[in-house]
Amino acid sequence: MWKLTEGEALDVLKALPDNSVDLVFTSPPYEDSRTYGIDYKLRGQEWVDWAFERYVECVRVSRGLVAWVVGNKTRNFKWTAVAPLLIADLHRAGVCLRNPPIFHRVGVPGSGGPDWLRADTEWIICATPGGKLPWSDNTATGHPPKYAPGGAMSNRTADGRRKNAPDKPEALAARINQWGRSGSFGTKRQKKGSLEPEKIKPSHCYDGTGPPVKANPGNLISCPVGGGVMGSRLCHENEAPFPEKLAEFFIRSFCPPNGWVLDPFVGSGTTIAVAQMHGRHGHGVDCRASQIELTKKRLGEL
């Protein structure tokens, strides 16, 4: 199920009841990077004040996580720092912030300035109503751990060698992983581009019993961007699309099946499309009729 609303984000948010969605995931306009066809050109603290009012409304309507992907600009050799400024204002207002994940991708050449480093990261400002999240699956996008419990790292013995060195008796006697075997598990993309079976590294002191587990993926979220890897060609009809993989990370991790995801700056509809792909409902909002129509086209691809 999905719903699209044409209107200014703040007006639509104020009309929604408290705790009416499970997740808010969005990416608002980045300062004055683009006018979005509506003469949008806020900068610095003016942008922070604009974003603050809308972010607080998102927290009110969400019973779970609010996550905003926010970019910072470099202008005249000075970083605008709008993401940390917004975080600071939210903190001072008593909003329950969570440690912000980082969206990592290959940035635009020159994005850090002609004398500085390319901007390859964006902040994802996260908050909740407070307390433990009502639903989360923080390993939904995780992967099997490389080592069984007790594997990999170990102490040094009296002779200065690692306890789990390959020729140590303990290592030779226990070349099994947490699935009770050695050998291949899954595949790994090689530098040459092919998928090859990947060996799970053995544990030196684990008995191989117990169910397999996934590792928590951490808060550095790396996604490829650019033509052909965003998930839909239609996304490029929007000025600033983000990849489906980024939306998938938050939707699978922080919105329960059959739950509702809200995107108050829906753009090309990536959030709503990914929600549909993974058994969630989506409500998209945009002040431009063109983006509402674009999202309808995007959903028509499913």
Q: What is the pLDDT of residues 261-270, one digit of tens each?
A: 999 999 989 9
CA distance 291 to 64: 26
Q: C-alpha 149: how far from its chain's center?
A: 27
**pLDDT of 232 higher than 90:** no
Greatest CA separation for the chain: 72
Mean local confidence (pLDDT), 11-39? 83
Query: What does the chain come to in residues?
Result: 302
Domain chopping of the chain, boundaries: 2-140+216-300, 147-213
Q: Is 158 buried (19+), middle (13-18) or exposed (0-12) by CB count in 10 A?
A: exposed
130 vs 215, more confident: 130
Residue 263: C-alpha distances to residues 3, 69, 133 (Å) = 11, 11, 19
At 2 the pLDDT is 97
**What percent of the chain is predicted at pLDDT more than 70?**
75
Q: C-alpha 90: how far from its chain's center?
A: 20
Q: Centre a 10 Å sphere on the Cβ of residue 168 and count the other Cβ atoms it contains.
A: 16
**pLDDT of 238 higher than 50:** yes
| H or E stretch covering 92 | helix 82-92
**pLDDT of 217 higher than 50:** yes
pLDDT, the chain, mean: 84
Give the CATH number of domain 2-140+216-300: 3.40.50.150
pLDDT digits (tens, 9 = 90+) for 59-84: 999 999 999 999 888 889 999 999 99
Partnered with residue 78 across adjacent β-strands are 75
pLDDT digits (tens, 9 = 90+) for 126-174: 999 999 999 999 999 998 877 665 555 666 777 666 665 555 555 545 5
Phi, psi of 214 (to 5 degrees): -105, 150
pTM score, two decimals? Answer: 0.79
At 101 the pLDDT is 98
Mean local confidence (pLDDT), 76-101? 97
Confidence of residue 201 (pLDDT cuts 50, 70, 90): low
